[in-house]
Amino acid sequence: MKYGDIIVALAVIAIVIIIIIPIPLAALDVLLSFNISLALLILLIAMYTQEALQFSIFPSILLITTLFRLALNITTTRYILSRGTAGNVINTFGDFVIGGSPIVGFIVFLIIIIIQFLVITKGSERVAEVAARFTLDAMPGKQMAIDADLNAGLIDDADARNRRSKIQREADFYGAMDGASKFVKGDAIAGIIITIINIIAGFIIGVSIQGLDFGAAIQKYTLLTVGDGLVSQIPALLISTATGIVVTRAASEGNLGSDLIHQLFNQPKIMFIISGVLLFFGIIGLPFWPFFLLSMGFLFLGMKLRKELQKSQVEEPLDEVQEAVEEKRKPENVMPLLNVDPIELEFGYGILPLADASQGGDLFDRLVMIRRQCALELGIIVPMIRLRDNIQLEPNQYVIKIKGIEIAIGEIIFDHYLAMNPGMVDEEIEGIDTVEPAFGLPAKWIDEQEREKAEILGYTVVDPPSIIATHLTEIIKKHAFELLGRQDVKKLIDHVKENHSVLVEELIPNILTLGEVQKILGNLLKEGVSIRNLVTILETLADYGNITRDTDMLTEYARQSLGRAITKQFITTQPAKVITVTQDLEQRIMESLQQTENGTYISMDPDTTQRMIHNLSQQVQKVVSLGEQPIVVTAPIVRLYFKRLSEQLTSDLIVLSYNEVDPSIEIQSIGAVSI
């Protein structure tokens, strides 16, 4: 097998050469015998193949075997017309079928050709065409089913890739089979034409050139033509049968033989009915003994099947009970209970239609888009989102959990829409007052009739699936730092390593450990900073990792390297209206820093802290009243510690350092935090 590819290539070239160059009769006998053997091999492989893709080279084999048969047909025709003989194999087949009567033998041969062309070849061609069409039509549905299983956590990324690849290969295979079946049809037509040419041309040559009388010419050339036709049509018939077997195996789980026996002979009641009908035919006047023997055979088969069925029905419940008992005794039985899903979305039974594709629900598709959106905006791989129905919830209620803990809860009204006033609409609409779950904005539930009016007035109108998807997206963004584990960081770094291997090898583990890199990335995500530009972050860590291993300080260095991205993300207007921090407060914060072996912490007296928080609250309310996004800008050395102090007021306050703001951005201070 070492040089198998070379042998196959030379064999195909040799087939083409045979068409042009005559070969010895002895070699022709060997090749004709090999053609029959090859056809038998293909038929048996097709019968024992459990699914079509296990025999994926079948379309190519059809082309090669068809070309091989045509090459042999041309060679045998050359010998029949030029020498009046075509070797022992053809003579033997001709004598066997003709049996002393050229007319009867020729008729039998024509019947074989008709069966081959009109029944098997025509049917295989049609089945291949329909299978190709149905396979292509079913591809989108199969792809959606894979995405649904992937989002539900039933399969991982590798399984999804394999299943998508299998679907693509199935489409390619059935498309190729649709075309390859035309080879078989063309081969059958060519066999009929060659047969007619051999008989007519052979008869003319035998009478006019070889001087044979009419009867002798008919006898001789009919024998050779029938023998030649059989030698070529029998392999063609076998391969056509194999084609039909391959393209008609749709939902089988075993090979053809085992499926045939299992599915035909598995119901004793049917065997008893057949036995009775056959016995009745024998009694009413048809040949008694054949029908009686067959009746007894089916009766015996039915009794045996019924006995085995009763035995299996008794054994199966006992086996199931015993397996259940043994399973409970196993200590490993509790292990699945210890697994905690990173993200769960539980919903009441009223929301089920949103997750059911057969009812028009597109929640699974939205989960795919959420993972893509988070990858683009945050640069993280969101874990599989587990969907579960929970009968303990209200029908239209849903719950979002992070690592098994309830984080958020929401409720929708089915067949209604959520309308939110963007702040520029004065006219009210009729609806049920509520609060938008993702951002806490006042909103109204409106029905279909009010939807068009609300959109015309300028309200933002969203449907229930969008509400759930938006809420889930915001929760994922807010808790992204919790979802980023060491294994996820390893995947991200391995992806970077494909194109920046030197960087990764220098940084990990020589300068920082994987856990330290994870903590730094988590710090960035906690404040909403995207880590998609992971190469820049790792370059910064490699530069400063030898100076300090304090992950908080390294996070600040990484933020400064991402300054332009941070500026674009948080500062959207110019000049940027921000809150600054007075020099006295910055000095007080720096004096309150305490360095320990585990890092640097701030230790400020409670009174000072409360005064600062109170003043910060006033400045934030002032900025909000102006319709601006509150942003605090501080000195780089105190940014992190001021952010930690401000979390006592709100965790969503944006705190930037001067080194993180793009120099091209104009900053306008509209307030200062002091003590």
User: DSSP string spanning 82-120?
Assistant: HHS---HHHHHHHHHHHTT-HHHHHHHHHHHHHIIIIII
The predicted pLDDT at position 237 comes to 75
442: Cβ contacts below 8 Å, ≥ 6 apart: 420, 421, 433, 434, 435, 436
pLDDT score, position 251: 45
Distances (CA, A) of 603 to 165, 342, 643, 644, 650: 58, 34, 14, 11, 19
What's the pLDDT tens digit per position in 308-351? 877 766 655 655 556 665 655 555 555 666 778 888 888 888 88
Sign, CA torsion 577/578/582/587: negative
pLDDT score, position 539? 93
Region label for 53, one of left (φ > 0), alpha (ψ between -120 and 50) or beta (otherwise): alpha
User: What is the fold of 343-481?
Assistant: Glutaredoxin (3.40.30)
Predicted local confidence at residue 554, as pLDDT: 92
Give CA–CA dist 100/102, Å, rounded.
6
Kindly state the DSSP code that residue 580 receives in the 8-state scheme.
E
Closest to 468 measured CA to CA, from 356, 359, 362: 362
- Which residue type is seen at 455? E
Q: Which residue has 């996820």 as its token pair?
A: 488
Q: Is the preceding omega at residue 575 within 30 degrees of 0, hence cis? A: yes
Output phi, psi for 531, to 5 deg: -110, 20
Low-confidence residues of the chain, pLDDT below 50? 250-251
From the options 3.40.50.12790, 2.102.10.10, 3.40.50.2300, 3.30.465.10, give the CATH code of 570-675.
3.40.50.12790
pLDDT of residue 537: 93
Q: Is 72 left (phi over 0), alpha (psi -120 to 50) or beta?
A: alpha
- Look at the pTM and tell me if it is higher than 0.75: no
3-state secondary structure of 188: helix
Residue 445 bridge partners (DSSP): 418, 432
Planar angle of CA 205, 208, 213, nearest 5 degrees: 95
Domain positions in the chain are 11-252, 343-481, 570-675
